[in-house]
Structure formats: structure tokens, C-alpha cells
Chain A
């Protein structure tokens, strides 16, 4: 863990300021997304992206089931055995954080973020595509800016890190943020390309009411 911290710190020492970070990060991620988007229909990339989605779903399930069982275990220990495990409660609270950002990453893949979108939903045809592209590019930029802010925080946190629970140092908890925001930025860049290609997913309401045959 020590060496990982040291290596991360060395990496972060060269962190540029926000403007430069965006100037380099946005086109770099777009190029990466573009290269992958170009080969999106090849079996290899399909395999990778399917596995990626499955892993994300699996991760969410693991986080949630861990919450269910750990909190139930804690109740059992407290009420039946009059004891308890000190690390369960902080772990549960941090799982909320982890779950929130894992879920946000998953939501981007299916375009299921909570949004106001009062005007956007009135757009049709080409206007809808242009609007969708601009919004996705904005989302990618904001995600990158937040990634920068979290990298700054991570740089400071490594210096003054302490143990939060079990043997987990606080900087590792903080690392959830830059990782999530960078992945989010990448997925929004992908969405930019999908919007341009007219392959972006449907609106959330249509998705929600979609499987209408299921219950009837």
C-alpha cells in the first residue's frame, strides 16, 4: 500500500492546472473514445464492452449484497450475541459512496441520469442530435473538471492520509472520485460520438415504460 501511495503521489506531482488539464484531457479522451468507437462493431470490442457492462452490474450487485448482509450481520451480532464488529458501520457508509459513483458510471452507459431537460425533450430530428451532442460534450468537460478537482484533493490526501477502517487509508477512499470522474468523462465522450452517429440510447421515460408486457 505504501509503495502504491508513493507511486500515485509521484504521478500527481506533475498535475497541470485546470485549464491545461482540460485542454489536454478533452481531446486525448475524445481520440481514445474515437479510436474505440470506430471499431465498436468488431467482435473483439463487443466482447470487451459486454464484459465491461457485466462487470459493472456485478460490481453494483456485490456492493449492494455486501450492504444487505453486513448490516444484517451487525443486527444479529448486536441483538443476539451482544457484540458487534467495529469496522462494519464505517464500511457500510463508504459503500454508499462507492455505490453512488459505480451507479453513476452505469447510468451513463444507458443514458439514465436524473435530469430536468424541460426544453431538450421538445427537440426532434437533427436539432435533437445537435442538442444531445452539445450536452454530452458539456457533460464530458464538467466530468473532467471534477476529475481535476479530485486529483488535487487526492494529491493533498496522500500526504496526510490516515486509516479509515480496517487497513484502508483515507486516500484510497478519495481515489474513488478521480477514477469515477475520468471514467464518466470517457463515457460522455463516447456518448458524443454516439449522438453524432445517431446511436444514442432512448429517453429515460420511454425506457422505464418500455417492458410493458412484463407485468400484464
Chain B
């Protein structure tokens, strides 16, 4: 009976049953099947109110939504264009940086493609970049920046895996930069090949673009400075960011009208609530599996099949790429991380490093055919057939995979900064 319900739940998931109900149903079936009251599933859900870290999730999401709703994407693109447009492939670099920065604040919920990509696509094509290159760039960059603080996936991984958020925030920086550098080199090459015109650097216009973004530009510094200096906790940084974004966009720039606020709040909170209820429903499910020693059994089986840490990491990457192309990043983090953590520990993988591998995989999964979410959002947003986007994103996927291999097999990319800064990233 229990098995039948679990199988039914999985099939229903493939046909669109909301994921939190899939997990809730499986948890109920497992608990009741083991003669435990179904109310234990709800007791597990109560854990949603037990961590101050979770308070940061809606706050950062709200800040990101306000920024997305305002003129911030336009000011961000203008300012970085003035500053970097003179470089070879400068406009492509602008696109990469703008997307990365924006995704770090909004999470890869598609907002980046809709808000920033929508501005960049015409600019890049007008600037002389080939259309297919541009589509691929904008699509795959929709999840670039996940590795930079204060991205929600970093926060959520830290919470689920029980790793320090500050450690993870430091660990993502070098790998994130690596992704951007590799893509920027490709962009510069394509720009030179297509004979793209460069925009001369003018101090006056650069300063005026910076001044226009003057209230938003310090935001990343304030957030990160606050967290890294230890002056505020992550949760406090989240509330300050939300308050700051609210005041700047509603009162100072007046980009967001007061009467639009309820809609912005509702849309962003629906998004974050979707994540939170999945988390709530997954507590029972993952706890049951851990109690039943399922990860331990998988570990035992895997240690027979993959004898070294390095072959394990290879298998993990393949597995995560598949997960990443099927599930959204938050569900994947919530469901898979608790099961993978004990296995990875069995292989001696550092959990901070594991987090970065995890997120890089899921970031790539966003643009992986056939069902990567970025491909569909781009398809809707730019009114192109999904097949065109499959083709357009292929070269970018290739580059991201190279970066993934480097990130996986050079742990120091993720751990070096932490050791230097003493956030404890080096302890295995």
C-alpha cells in the first residue's frame, strides 16, 4: 500500500501535482505505513518556525522583487555599459555582470531574463552581436550569479546542509568569477569576430550614469560589507536590504508606486512561500529517509561502484545535471541535499565545496535541454521557438561544463578564500 502511494505520488508529480503536496503525500504514506501518526508530518512542518535564517528568505526575495520592478535594471545596464563598453566584447561583459549581479539579489527565478535580458537582447543585437549568440548569452546568464551572495540558493543550501552561511558566501566568489571570466573570453572572441563597434569611454557620461544609479550602486557593498565584517547577521542584512530597497525605489526614485506594492509583495511572496512549503513538507520526508538509513545504504552501494572521491564526484555531477534540468533549484536543494550530505561526507568531500558543486550544477541545469526553465522563459519572453534556444545555448553550456569540471576537481577554488579570510572553509 505504502509503495503504491509513493509510486502514485511520483507519477502525479510528473503530471503537475504541486511538489509540496507530492512530498506531503509521500511523508504521510511513509509515516502511517510505519504506524506513526500522520500528525508527525505536521510536527515536522513546525520546524519552519524554528530558524532565524529562514526569516532572511522572504526579506531578500522582497528586496529583489522591488529592485526588479523599479528602474534598477535599466540604470544597472546603463552604468555598466558606460564603464565597460570600451573593452573588446565589452557589451557582452556588461550583460554577464548585470545578469550576475541581478541574479545574486533576485535568485534565478526568471526575473533576470525578463527584466535584465529584455533590455540586453536588443542592445546586444543593435551593437552587432550575432542573434544566436545573443539569445544563448541572455538565456544562460539568467542563472549566472547564483554563486554570489546574497543569493537565496546559497542561503538555502547553508540552511539545509547545516553549513555556515558566511563560509558559503565566501566560497562562491572565486567559482562565480571563473564562470564569468570564461564566458567573457568567449564573448570577447565573438565580438571581435563579428567586428562589433566599441563604445569609447567618456568620463563625463560614465560619471552621470553612475550618479543616476547612485542610490543602488552601494547596495551590494552594504550587504556584503555588513555580513563579512561581522557587524550584522545574515538575517539582519536581509531586513536592512529590504528596508533600503523599499525606501530607495518607493520614496527616492519613485519607480514603484505605493498602490503597486501589494501586487509586488504578493507575487514575490507567492514565490518564496512556494519554496517554504516545499521545505516544510520535505522535513518529514527526508527525516524518514534518514531514520531509515537510506542515504547510508546508498553510500554502501556506491562505495562498491565508485571507489574514489573523484569518481564519486563525477557521478554526482551527472546526477545533479539531470536533477537540475528536471527540478527547480530550490526543490532540488530541499529534497536532494539532505540525502547527498551523508554520502558526500562518507567520501570525505568538504560540505562547503559540495555546496558550490551543487549550485554550479543546478545553475547549468537551468539552461539544459529539454526542460531547463531558462529555455522556456526565454522562449516566452523573446517569442522564439524553444528549439532555437536549445541550439543557441549549446556553446555556453559547453563553457559552463568546463568551469564545472574545474570547480569540482580544484576544491581550492571554493575553499582558498575561506582559508585566507579565516571563515573556516578549509576544515574538512
Q: Which residues of A contact B (CB under 8 A)?
A: 18, 54, 56-58, 60-61, 63-65, 67-69, 71-72, 74-75, 89, 92-97, 99-104, 106-107, 110, 112-121, 123, 131-132, 134-135, 138-139, 142-143, 145-146, 148-150, 152-153, 156, 173-174, 177, 205-206, 208-210, 212, 215-216
In the assembled complex, the CB of B321 is this many whole angstroms from the nearest CB of chain A, namely 15
Given A149-B28, A173-B49, residue A205 in contact with residue B277 (CB < 8 A): no
CB-CB under 8 A from B32, the residues of chain A are: 18
Residue pair B270, A103 in contact (C-beta under 8 Å): yes
Tell me, yes or no, whether B273 is within 8 Å of chain A by CB.
Answer: yes
Cα(A132)–Cα(B119), bound, Å:
35
- Range of interface residues on B (Cβ < 8 Å): 35 or more
Chain A binding surface SS class? helix
On whether the beta carbons of A72 and B243 are closer than 8 Å, the reply is yes
Pairwise interchain contact B25-A145, C-beta atoms closer than 8 A: yes
User: In angstroms, how far is the closest chain A Cβ from the Cβ of B323?
Assistant: 10
User: Please, which residues of chain A bring their CB within 8 A of the CB of B278?
Assistant: 114
List chain B positions with a Cβ less than 8 A from chain A: 12-22, 24-25, 28, 32, 37-39, 41-43, 45-46, 48-52, 54-55, 57-59, 62, 73-74, 110, 114-115, 118-119, 122, 232, 235-236, 238-240, 242-243, 246, 261-263, 265-266, 269-278, 280, 326-328, 330-331, 371, 373, 376-377, 380-381
A64 to B54, CA, bound (A): 13
Instruction: Give B326 Cβ to nearest chain A Cβ, in Å.
Output: 6
Which among A18, A134, A177 has the greatest number of chain B C-beta atoms within 10 A?
A: A177
Contact of B270 (CB < 8 Å), options: A61, A72, A106, A143: A106
* Nearest B residue (CB) for A106: B270
Instruction: Give the residues in chain B near A97, CB-CB below 8 Å.
Output: 46, 48-49, 280
Using known A-B contacts A106-B266, A114-B328, A131-B15, determine if residue A150 contacts B42 with beta carbons closer than 8 Å. Answer: yes
Q: Is the CB of B21 within 8 A of A153?
A: no
**A58 CB contacts on chain B under 8 angstroms:** 262
Q: Is the CB of B276 within 8 A of A103?
A: yes
Report yes or no: B48 in contact with A114, Cβ–Cβ below 8 A: no
> How far is the CB of B381 from the nearest CB of chain A, in Å?
4
Shortest beta-carbon distance from A98 to chain B in Å: 9
Chain B residues whose CB sits within 8 angstroms of the CB of A96 once the complex forms: 48-49, 54-55, 57-58, 276
Separation in Å of the A110 CB from the closest CB of chain B?
A: 7
| B42 pairs with A100, CB closer than 8 A | no
* B62 surroundings in chain A (CB, below 8 A): 64, 68
A143 vs B22: C-alpha distance when bound (angstroms): 10
From residue B282, how far is it (CB to closest CB) to chain A in Å? Answer: 12
**A95 neighbours in B (Cβ, 8 Å):** 55
Residue of A nearest to B325 (CB): A118
Closest residue of chain B to A117, judged by CB? Answer: B16
Question: Cα distance A135–B21 when bound, in Å?
Answer: 11
Contact partners of A212 in chain B: CB under 8 A: 114, 118, 380-381
- B28 and A110 within 8 A (CB): no
CA distance A11 to B114 in the complex (A): 49
Name which of B14, B25, B39, B380 has the most chain A CB atoms within 10 A of its CB: B39
Partner of B262, one of A18, A61, A146, A216: A61
Q: How far apart are B102's CB and chain A's nearest CB, in angstroms?
A: 12
The 4 lowest CB-CB distance pairs between A and B, nearest first, are A103-B273, A209-B380, A113-B18, A100-B276
Bound-state CA distance A152–B236 (Å) is: 36
CB < 8 Å neighbour of B42 from A94, A119, A121, A153: A153
